[in-house]
Structure 1
Amino acid sequence: MTASSTPATVPAMQAWGRVRSGRRSADRALKVLATAATVLGAVVLGSILLMLIVEGVRGLTPALFTEPTPGPGSEGGGIANAILGSLVMTAIGIVIATPVGVMAGTYLAEYGRTSKLAALIRFLNDILLSAPSILIGLFVYTLMVRPMGSYSGWAGGVALAIIATPVIVRTTEDMLRLVPGALREAGAALGAPASVVIRQVTWRAAQTGMVTGVLLALARIAGETAPLLFTALNNNSWFSPNLMGGVPNLPVMIYQFALSPYDNWRQLAWAGALLITAAILALSIVARVVLRGGKSR
């Protein structure tokens, strides 16, 4: 036994020594393949991020955050209108999705549980969770844009809300199911009705995970392009306060400007892509920090 070996590791080393050489070779080969795949994925992701940073930083100017998008062939300009439009529609989406998702997740975890209705809702929620966002855009186009006769920020917000809702439902249900049943029983023993126990006990116990779910849903819809093509479209000027007509937004702006023949537009597209990536990364980090802080308590 070496000086670095501990009594706990000796049995494991002896057991590994009894493994046939063929299995040890297969284990090493699998380890090499897994490591190579990890390195390859990290290199590809790092290359994309590096290219995004290099190209996007060039377009970060004060005008980017103060001026609207320029017209075709124009010089200068910024993406202030697209940033504001994205913020407004994302806010509409998350404001609609949060109460619906939280209440639906609460029903599945607290009231429905093993009922047939709850099983059906879970099944539909899973389908919606994996549904292509372009289908949701077409659905909202048929539901709102055609009857209203115009693209609008309201339709874009509803489309984003439909995408965010299943994420919040799933997270809320999972977090509430992790709350020990003894807490519910303690509340019921004090004579509190189920609604009070849910509000005062289970929601408070699971609030960190539920907030994390909302942040993840927010990150999920922040960069969606397909549904906005059918609902909000785009606009190279400031949008109307009533959100009717084309509403500028970062995802569609990036899509249109990146395919344009104008260097100025392509540079703005790189800068907008960098801003969206940074925002999603920040939301993901905040969600992890919030979840980790809740676990430490």
Structure 2
Amino acid sequence: MTLLAPEQDDVKAGSLHTKRLPGWAAVATAVAALALSAALVLGTGIGNWVLVIVLGAVFYLIGFFIAANAVEGVRSARNRTWSALIHAACVLAILPLASVVWTLISNGVNRLDADFFLTSMNNIGARDPNGGAYHAIVGTLEQVGIAALLTIPLGVLGAIYLVEYGRGRLALAIRFFVDVMTGIPSIVAGLFVLAFWVLIVTPIFNDGRPGYSGFAAALALSVLMLPTIVRSTEEMLRLVPAPLREGAYALGVPKWKTILRIVIPTALPGIITGIMLAIARAAGETAPVLLVAGGTAAINFNPFENNQSSLALFVFSQATESTRFSPDRAWTAALTLVALVLILTIGAKLLARRNRLTR
């Protein structure tokens, strides 16, 4: 064994430490990049602040790569550049969502009052500033609620069959048709229910007259929700580790009880996420409700008789009217619809989390 001289020992110890950019380097580079971009864009008049931000981001990436390469080396510079690109992509993905939320809140607060939530549009004229979406809120809750009651059990059971029992051509055919249904336009679902339920089935029990109703709208929404629930639930069930199933089988637990007590609870958070995505899509559909429920300005608590409105249809009708009070109603109804879906999603997530913690 050879002993190093003190000078050589210091060199070896110093080689373990690499130079690092100071914490303020990123901020300084960003400020310089924005200043250069603003001087170039605004000084020449070739664009506005949007181009300033885009060009500033490009200058920032170039400048930060040069600075990191000079201090830390090319490997660290590449790592920092790709990290900055990933963060920029995240910001770009969040910006449209933040813009939508801000637009909804800033425009929707104008009619956030008791009159909007406790009255309908019945007997409201073009010059009347009052009127609300109570009838539309009732219609949305009933239609989406009925659609969820019809679709969630079918979708979850269908996914369980495909993952746990389905083999051969039948399972392949079911997956194929589920994939096809996933991409169908909403108006096709409305036309199907209109042609089958409204024009063929309901006249038998309605003295030959077509039966437009909220239940018909719920059937159309069920057609749209079913493939989303089946596919999302199927993927979540496939993510459950196989050793969990094998351990239950080794203990003599029947397959149906293994699915009920182990597989589904493990995949429950993901299943609920898929269900809420399907509910959110159904709550925002306009064409099926317009075709088979017709819409109305009055309150209708009975989803099985007469026309019924929804929040999405209310937004569409108010946005297409030419009165000066309609835009405020449309924006507030849109904000109410988003808030309603958000509340349902948070409630479902909290319920799933509570059930998971109490097991």
Q: Same fold (TM over 0.5)?
A: yes
Which of residues 234, 250, 255 is equivalent to 2:295?
234
Instruction: From the superposition, tell whether residues 42 and 205 of structure 1 become closer, same or farther in structure 2 (CA, over 3 Å).
Output: closer
Counterpart position of 2:119: 67
Give the drift of 1:284: 5.0
Instruction: From the superposition, tell whether residues 179 and 68 of structure 1 become closer, same or farther in structure 2 (CA, over 3 Å).
Output: same
Instruction: From the superposition, tell whether residues 117 and 254 of structure 1 become closer, same or farther in structure 2 (CA, over 3 Å).
Output: same
Q: Which has the higher contact order (CA 8 A, sep 6+)?
A: 1
Show CA shifts across 1:15-54 (max 9, x none): 738x9xxxx7xx969x77994x766665444443323222
Counterpart position of 2:169: 116
Q: Greater shift after overlay, 232-241 or 278-287?
A: 278-287
Letter in 1 for 2:114: P
CA contact (8 A) 1:212 1:291 kept: no
Q: Greater shift after overlay, 183-192 or 41-50?
A: 41-50
Counterpart position of 1:85: 139
Q: Greater shift after overlay, 175-184 or 52-61?
A: 175-184
Give the drift of 1:99: 0.4
Which of residues 191, 213, 221 is equivalent to 1:160?
221
Letter in 2 for 1:78: G
3-state SS of 1:210 partner? helix
Counterpart position of 2:245: 184
Instruction: From the superposition, tell whether residues 34 and 213 of structure 1 become closer, same or farther in structure 2 (CA, over 3 Å).
Output: closer
Instruction: From the superposition, tell whether residues 270 and 140 of structure 1 become closer, same or farther in structure 2 (CA, over 3 Å).
Output: same
| Structure 2: gaps spanning 5 or more residues | 1-16, 22-71, 203-209
3-state SS of 1:120 partner? helix
Show CA shifts across 1:249-291 (max 9, x none): 1111110111101222332111101111223344455667778
Count of paired positions: 280
CA contact (8 A) 2:139 2:301 kept: no
CA distance, structure 2, for counterparts of residue 167 and residue 73 of structure 1: 40
* Structure 1 residue 52 corresponds to structure 2 residue 113: no
CA distance, structure 1, for counterparts of residue 271 and residue 179 of structure 2: 18
Counterpart position of 2:197: 144
| Structure 1: gaps spanning 5 or more residues | 6-12
Letter in 2 for 1:260: E
- Report the TM-score when normalising by structure 1: 0.82
Show CA shifts across 1:68-102 (max 9, x none): 12434252121111101110000001110100001
Show CA shifts across 1:125-161 (max 9, x none): 1111121111111111111111220211111111111
CA contact (8 A) 1:216 1:287 kept: no
Give the drift of 1:178: 1.6
CA distance, structure 1, for counterparts of residue 332 and residue 296 of structure 2: 18
Which of residues 182, 196, 212 is equivalent to 1:129?
182
Letter in 1 for 2:137: I
CA contact (8 A) 1:68 1:79 kept: yes
CA contact (8 A) 1:72 1:262 kept: no
3-state SS of 2:317 partner? helix
3-state SS of 1:136 partner? helix
Give the drift of 1:65: 1.1
CA distance, structure 1, for counterparts of residue 103 and residue 254 of structure 2: 57
Give the drift of 1:192: 3.3
Equivalent positions of 1:177-256 (< 5 A) are: 177-239=238-300, 241=302, 243-256=304-317
Equivalent positions of 1:33-52 (< 5 A) are: 35=88, 42-52=94-104
Instruction: From the superposition, tell whether residues 240 and 84 of structure 1 become closer, same or farther in structure 2 (CA, over 3 Å).
Output: closer
Instruction: From the superposition, tell whether residues 50 and 196 of structure 1 become closer, same or farther in structure 2 (CA, over 3 Å).
Output: closer
CA contact (8 A) 1:151 1:233 kept: yes
Letter in 1 for 2:249: A
CA contact (8 A) 1:69 1:82 kept: no
Identity across the alignment (%): 35
Instruction: From the superposition, tell whether residues 48 and 198 of structure 1 become closer, same or farther in structure 2 (CA, over 3 Å).
Output: closer
